[in-house]
Amino acid sequence: MRAPYARGAARHTSRTRRDFLCTRFEVGVSPLVGRRYAVLVNTELPVHDPRVRAAFDEVARADFLPDALKSRAAEDRPLPIGFGQTASQPSLIAFMVDQLALTPTSRVLEVGSGSGYQTAILSKLCDEVFAIDVMAPLVERAQVALADYGNVHLRVGNGAAGWPEMAPFDAIVVCAATADIPKALLEQLAVGGRLVIPFGPTEGAQLLRIEKRHDGSFKSVPLLGVRFVPLLD
């Protein structure tokens, strides 16, 4: 039997393969209220920005999971969040966020906000986050979890269409696989910006980093093999 599709899971392969990369993500829970998380340690997925690691220390994954799954927040694996969706594995979130090369002044578009956990991580690293999900119940739940995050904007919508009235964005991260890079997202990416997106079929997508050059052309860098749910409209 095939495993269900995950919102974001690294595709585990032989260590001789370039596209991945068995990882380990260690999480330490605060003895006080369980809101402090330790950062990535000993992972084969490189995370270069120490600010990304610090953001993981500040955001409790359990706050974004259904009550029945809060005890599993420390697991480095996708977890179901209802409506046929899952929360991505933390090590993959860290890798994808790191690839965006965010600064404190960055404006970020997140397509497929899901539980809101990655949204919270992004909010610690940039000026504003504009997050879209096609699932209204997930957006409503994420709005509650993100109530104290003043630089986050959430809405229900077609992620492939982006958020044109708030463009351009310095970074765009897509948490669903697509066989076609949405033209709207490329148009809404700022010059010098980065788009991180799973490209290809859900079961064999390639995570790409697409950079917008100053002449308006694009440079695409393949990163690793992943499995994601399909991008819905």
Neighbours of 99 (CB within 10 A): 23
CA-atom Rg of the chain in angstroms: 16
Which of 216, 138, 133, 228 is closest to 179 using CA atoms? Answer: 228
User: In angstroms, rounded to a whole number, what is the distance separating the alpha carbons of residues 60 and 121?
Assistant: 10
* Amino acid, single-letter form, for residue 169: F
Q: Helix (H, G, I), strand (E, B), or coil: what is residue 41?
A: coil
Residues 83, 138 contacting (CB under 8 angstroms): yes
Q: Helix (H, G, I), strand (E, B), or coil: what is residue 86?
A: strand
Q: Note if 88 is an active site residue.
A: yes
User: In angstroms, rounded to a whole number, what is the distance separating the alpha carbons of residues 150 and 12?
Assistant: 37
User: In angstroms, rounded to a whole number, what is the distance separating the alpha carbons of residues 4 and 80?
Assistant: 10
The residue count for the chain: 233
| Catalytic residue of the set 14, 88, 91, 123 | 88
Q: Helix (H, G, I), strand (E, B), or coil: what is residue 17?
A: coil
For the annotated catalytic residues, the residue numbers are 88
